[in-house]
């Protein structure tokens, strides 16, 4: 997992960092969620002024760390959604998870599969935030993800 980010990010760099994290969340094995959840929290906290984060709230770092220490990374990601946001989660028989996140004011929702509930939720939240802040919607998110790899 990447080191802590110490400098402000431009909006394009911030979006690229979120795309890279989304890819990591989708590819990460269960048990490695803590780094993804911490980096998601950090990136959302570093959102440039022009970025819309409606539907997102950031728990303080101490609460986040308590949830991670309690092996509740899924709860840590859910704590990043405010009451106006919606989510649905499901699990498959083979141990995979599917998460859907809908932020207030969006026309649709985002669906992402992951190896754990926390990873699927984190990736779906990233997609929802990117969708709210990317002209062209999901196709642009997909294109940006391919550009970084």
Q: Where are the beta strands (DSSP E) in 1-148?
A: 86-91, 97-102, 110-114
Higher-confidence residue of 91 and 7: namely: 91
The lowest-confidence range among 52-61, 78-87, 130-139 is 130-139
Give the total number of structural domains in the chain: 1
Q: Does residue 115 lie in a domain region? A: yes
Q: How confident is the model at residue 4 (pLDDT cuts 50, 70, 90)?
A: low
Q: Does residue 91 lie in a domain region? A: yes
Q: How confident is the model at residue 6 (pLDDT cuts 50, 70, 90)?
A: low
- Which one, of 141, 78, 147, 61, lies nearest residue 108 by Cα? 141
Q: Does residue 50 lie in a domain region? A: yes
**pLDDT, average across residues 10-15:** 91
Distance CA 117, CA 89 (A): 8
Q: Does residue 1 lie in a domain region? A: no
Q: Does residue 106 lie in a domain region? A: yes
pLDDT given at position 139: 36
Q: Does residue 92 lie in a domain region? A: yes
Q: Which residue has the tokens 């998870």?
A: 97
The sign one gets for the Cα dihedral 99, 149, 147, 7 is: positive
Q: Does residue 142 lie in a domain region? A: yes
Residue 56 has pLDDT above 60, yes or no: yes
The boundaries of the domain holding residue 118 are: 11-147
Q: Does residue 134 lie in a domain region? A: yes
**pLDDT, average across residues 57-79:** 97
pLDDT tens across 88-137, in order?
A: 999 988 889 999 999 998 888 899 999 999 999 999 999 999 998 875 44
- Report the predicted TM-score, pTM, of the whole model to 2 decimal places: 0.85
Residues 6 or more apart whose Cβ sits within 8 Å of residue 100: 86, 87, 88, 89, 109, 110, 111, 124
**pLDDT, average across residues 47-63:** 89
pLDDT tens across 30-47, in order?
A: 888 999 999 999 999 999
């Amino acid at each position: 997992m990447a080191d802590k980010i110490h400098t402000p990010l431009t909006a394009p760099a911030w979006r690229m960092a979120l795309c890279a994290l989304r890819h990591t969340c989708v590819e990460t094995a269960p048990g490695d969620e803590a780094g993804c959840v911490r980096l998601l929290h950090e990136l959302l906290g570093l959102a440039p002024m022009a970025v819309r984060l409606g539907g997102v709230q950031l728990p303080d770092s101490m609460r986040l760390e308590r949830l991670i220490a309690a092996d509740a990374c899924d709860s840590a990601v859910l704590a990043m959604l405010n009451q106006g946001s919606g989510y649905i989660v499901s699990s498959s028989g083979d141990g995979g998870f599917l998460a859907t996140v809908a932020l207030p004011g969006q026309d649709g929702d985002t669906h992402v599969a992951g190896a754990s509930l926390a990873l699927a939720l984190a990736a779906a939240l990233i997609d929802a935030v990117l969708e709210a802040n990317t002209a062209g919607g999901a196709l642009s998110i997909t294109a940006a993800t391919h550009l970084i790899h």
